Amino acid sequence: MYYLVNPTAQLNGDVNVPGSKSQTARGLILGTLAKGTSHILHPMLNLDNYDIAQCCRLLGAEVDTSNDEDWVVTSPGLEGLHIPGAVLDVGNSGTGYYFITTLAAMLEGKSIVTGDYQICYRPIAPLLTALRDMGGTAISTRGNELAPLMVEGPIKGGYTVHLNGKNVQWGIGLMVCCPALDKPTTIIYDTPLGERPYANLTMDWMKAAGVYLENYNYEKFVIPGNQTYHPFTKRTARDWCSASYPLVATAIMKEPCRIKLLDMDINDFMGERHYVDWINQMGGHVEVLNDGKDGVIVEGGHELHGIEIDCGDTPDAVPALAVLGCYAQGKMKLYNIAASRMKETDRSKTIAQELRKMGAHIDEEEDSLTIYHSPLHGATIDGHNDHRIVMATACAALGADGPSFIDSVDHVGVSFPRFYEEMRGIGANIIRLVEK
């Protein structure tokens, strides 16, 4: 499937941003660990979370996703879970990959964990090493420390494991699962931990399930053992990552215009809430009403100028921020981007490659991108089967001179299933095509 994106001068109207992808995933895993019935309110209805839900079913939980506003997880608790009768396939979900691998290692017996071809090249070696250090078995069937994996548990408490802080996802499964172990578990990060908002929202959802860990300045986490998970009812916040695309698209509009993102929460844990600050610092106008409860107003038609942004906590923001940089006077520097290179694609390299097709001037270094003000023109864009590349380049194309074609656009279903409908609803000239 393709998008034909035509130049658009104005965007106006309201945007309904979906519930948080990351929070829904944590709710599914914690609901599976808790004995009883848990409710995840306002879940994100995306492909990743449906895949995680299916994995939880295979492990012994009942997951009812029939109500779009209330997903219900009924579980026998960890003691009632079992190894699956089929392969645990996480699809394209990186979050699910790390959670399900760890959860499978909690169970006695062997499980096979895999995903789509992108998952099968996604780094996981630090987590596998940690599971082995804790008494589990983790074997890469290809012998390269990548999926497919054979995981055998149960892992034990009482160990200290060391992780690289480059990717917080290597540790989130341990944070969520280790409270059930019989002894304390300690995680030490040998390098500074990035993506800290994801650690914070993990701890927040753990609290809802009645378990906790001790955080020592994000350098060490001590997880007491023998904790009991309790069923919970918790609502996800609106997803700031998804919100970033209409935010950016409106901010780069040439003519005065205005959209409202409905029912947001500026106090949410997600680092992408800082788009509000970044766009304002660049000379744009974003206004938060009543902490976002009454909406977030974004205006177009303002002249932007480049700034420097530390992306250590927000690697998923790199593609959309690179688009902003193309439309900003001067230059924009994005640094601390290492984690963005370990997603569905090397997103820093990929977004630079695709924006250059449109005329962008971008300098790429190992840990930074420098984007110069660049008049963009229409082009044929490879979405690389990466939802964030598709959505970022679609935003870039709205302000470009001439039409653009973007492929693999069905992948937006990974994180923003209604991206097309919401963008069309505010006036984006995007046409969805079965054939180019």
Question: N- to C-terminal Cα distance for the chain?
Answer: 8
Residue 116 per-residue DSSP state: S
Tell me which of 89, 268, 316, 407 is the catalytic residue.
Answer: 316
Query: Would you tell me how many other CB atoms lie within 10 Å of the CB of residue 334?
Result: 28
Concatenating the DSSP letter of every residue in 310-335 gives E-TT-GGGHHHHHHHHHTSBSEEEEE
Whether 340 and 347 have beta carbons less than 8 Å apart is answered as yes
Region for residue 195 given its phi and psi (left: phi exceeds 0; alpha: psi -120 to 50; beta: otherwise): left
* Residues comprising the chain, all counted: 436
Rounded Cα distance, 424 and 354, in Å: 23
Concatenating the DSSP letter of every residue in 375-412 gives --B--EE--TT-HHHHHHHHHHHHTSBS-EEE--GGGG
CA-based nearest residue to 355, from 331, 335, 371:
371
Angle at the Cα of 101 (from 240 to 107), degrees rounded to 5?
130
| Beta-sheet pairing, 233-235 with 35-41 | parallel
Whether 68 and 93 have beta carbons less than 8 Å apart is answered as no
Whether 75 and 60 have beta carbons less than 8 Å apart is answered as yes
Q: Which residues pair with 41 in a beta bridge?
A: 70, 235
Rounded Cα distance, 227 and 182, in Å: 8
Residue 64: Cβ-neighbour burial (10 angstroms; 0-12, 13-18, 19+)? middle
Rounded Cα distance, 430 and 436, in Å: 13
410 is known as an active-site residue: no
Number of Cα atoms under 13 Å in the Cβ half of residue 299: 13
Rounded Cα distance, 151 and 216, in Å: 30
Residues designated catalytic: 316
